[in-house]
């Protein structure tokens, strides 16, 4: 048993599927298919390590700008993978949530989302938030618009309650694979005090040992939330 502090909530920008496929002279969609397997492996490894919430970026608001063939391939793959995986996810105690703008999604995709959420709603072992047609700016705007509709003041507390991840605490650790070091409109609001870990591995190659390395790195950090080191040392955060 290790004493490593395990992040409660890990969020991941699963980047590098296209390059993984290109390197093998395969169509980009082959990389996305491999990416689904990598996500399954990662979710199991998170569960085994005691992580309770995993949030992944699967399709951004901006990804609609990709070639039509890739977009339609991704939509097909998403609907297919959902149908194929939901029984195993249910048996594994995973609660699936889909985060993002549902307007503009094809009926087949919407049906898959709604049925997967209903099937796994009672599960409590691991919450898996799949950000699909998601953008951090969209999230802030939709929350602010809802507050206005309800006649509520735009305060930090009200926004927190209305953001799309209000059912979970903010991510402790944000991982991005694929070598880029940018946020690409991911959890702009929720990552205010997250620790960041960038991996050069392409998402399909991100395995259990890579996850372990990210968790180890997280365990070395001192999170100060604006305070001084001395203050944090004197009053360390309570462990779960």
Binding site for Mg ion (CB under 5 A): 15
For the chain, give the number of residues. 240
Separation in Å, CA 142 to CA 30, 135, 193: 34, 11, 22
Closest C-alpha among 125, 132, 38 to residue 89? 125
Q: Which is nearer to ligand IPE, 159 or 178 (CB)?
A: 178
Closest C-alpha among 238, 95, 111 to residue 167? 95
Q: Name the segment binding ligand IPE (CB under 6 A); options: 11-19, 140-148, 157-165, 193-201.
A: 11-19
Number of shown-chain residues binding ligand IPE (CB under 6 A): 17
- Give the separation between CA 33 and CA 6, rounded to whole angstroms: 29
Question: 75 burial class (0-12, 13-18, 19+ CB within 10 angstroms)?
Answer: middle
Q: Check residue 191 for interaction with ligand IPE (CB under 6 A).
A: no
Question: Is 15 assigned a catalytic role?
Answer: yes
Among 10, 17, 95, 162, binds ligand IPE (CB under 6 A): 17
> Which of the choices ligand IPE, Mg ion, none does residue 86 contact, using the CB cut-off of 5 to 8 A by kind?
none
Q: Measured in Å, how far apart are the chain's first and last C-alpha atoms?
A: 16
Residue 63 contacts residue 104 (beta carbons within 8 Å):
no
Interface map 49-88 toward ligand IPE (x if CB under 6 A): --------xxxx--x----------x--------------
Provide, rounded to whole angstroms, the least separation between the CB of residue 239 and ligand IPE.
31
> Which of the choices Mg ion, ligand IPE, none does residue 184 contact, using the CB cut-off of 5 to 8 A by kind?
ligand IPE
Provide, rounded to whole angstroms, the least separation between the CB of residue 21 and ligand IPE.
8
Residue 64 contacts residue 227 (beta carbons within 8 Å):
no
CB count in 10 Å sphere of residue 239: 7
Q: Name the segment binding ligand IPE (CB under 6 A); options: 14-22, 82-90, 204-212, 216-224.
A: 14-22
Q: Which is nearer to ligand IPE, 19 or 108 (CB)?
A: 19
Interface map 204-233 toward ligand IPE (x if CB under 6 A): ------------------------------
Q: Which is nearer to ligand IPE, 23 or 167 (CB)?
A: 23
- Give the separation between CA 195 and CA 218, rounded to whole angstroms: 7
Q: Is 86 helix (H, G, I), strand (E, B) or coil?
A: helix
Q: Which stretches of the chain bind ligand IPE, using CB under 6 A?
A: 13-19, 57-60, 63, 74, 178, 180, 182, 184
Catalytic residues: 15, 63
């Amino acid at each position: 048993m290790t004493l490593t502090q395990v992040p409660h909530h890990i969020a991941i920008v699963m980047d590098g599927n296209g390059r993984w496929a290109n390197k093998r002279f395969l169509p980009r969609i082959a990389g996305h298919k491999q990416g689904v397997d990598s996500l399954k492996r990662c979710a199991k490894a998170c569960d085994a390590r005691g992580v309770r919430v995993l949030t992944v970026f699967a399709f951004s608001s901006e990804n609609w700008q990709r070639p039509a063939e890739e977009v339609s391939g991704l939509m097909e793959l998403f609907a297919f993978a959902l149908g194929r995986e939901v029984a195993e996810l249910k048996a594994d105690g995973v609660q699936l949530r889909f985060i993002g703008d549902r307007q503009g999604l094809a009926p087949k995709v919407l049906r898959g989302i709604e049925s997967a959420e209903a099937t796994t709603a009672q599960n409590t072992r691991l919450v898996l938030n799949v950000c699909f047609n998601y953008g951090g700016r969209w999230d802030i705007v939709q929350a602010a618009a809802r507050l206005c509709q309800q006649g509520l003041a735009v305060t930090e507390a009200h926004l927190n309650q209305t953001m799309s991840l209000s059912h979970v605490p903010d991510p402790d650790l944000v991982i991005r694979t694929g070598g880029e070091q940018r946020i690409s409109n991911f959890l702009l609001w929720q990552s205010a005090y997250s620790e960041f870990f960038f991996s050069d591995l392409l998402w399909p190659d991100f395995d259990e040992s890579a996850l372990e390395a990210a968790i180890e790195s997280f365990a070395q950090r001192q999170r100060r939330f604006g305070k001084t080191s001395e203050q944090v040392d004197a009053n360390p955060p309570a462990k779960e």
